[in-house]
Amino acid sequence: MSSGKIFSTNIEVRFRDLDALGHVNNAVFFTYFEEGRKKFSQKYFEVSDPSDFRFIMAHIRCDYLKPVMFVDKVTLQMWVKDIGTKSFTFEYKLFHHSDESIVYATGESVQVCYDYRKNQSIVVSDKIKEKLTAYLKP
């Protein structure tokens, strides 16, 4: 049974994230989503090395709603939208740390469970499914 928990992490805006106009470059938003997936994976999938990742990116999108500036303090929330036979979908919300109504971006990514040795997709394991289910948004 899902509890609809939300994973949350603060994201540090780095000087290198900025473009010539002084706001975070659009491509960096995907890096912020990646940082969330990394922290989620470290905490719940016991990933400590890149070779520990058991999934591969199949699709990702970002809807840009407001520019992020260097001085902005941002938080990323993520949760599970769907768990399929071989894949699962995360949804993302990037917002101002002290005011959740200031939303910079939303997004979604589809990860496919993958065996890198056999070079093929695999079924979502029961262990991964159990961890993901806690974050499945009803």
For residue 83, being part of any structural domain is answered with: yes
* 36: containing domain: 7-133
Distance of CA 68 to the CA centre of its chain: 17
For residue 89, being part of any structural domain is answered with: yes
For residue 90, being part of any structural domain is answered with: yes
For residue 25, being part of any structural domain is answered with: yes
Structural domain total, the chain: 1
Give pTM, 2 decimals. Answer: 0.93
Across the 138 residues of the chain, what is the mean pLDDT of every consecutive 10-residue run? 84 97 97 96 85 90 98 98 98 97 98 95 95 93
CA distances from 91 to 20, 23, 100, 117 (A): 29, 23, 16, 28
For residue 42, being part of any structural domain is answered with: yes
> What CATH number has the domain bearing residue 114?
3.10.129.10
**For residues 134 and 1, what is the distance between their CA atoms, to the nearest angstrom?**
7
pLDDT at 52: 78
For residue 138, being part of any structural domain is answered with: no
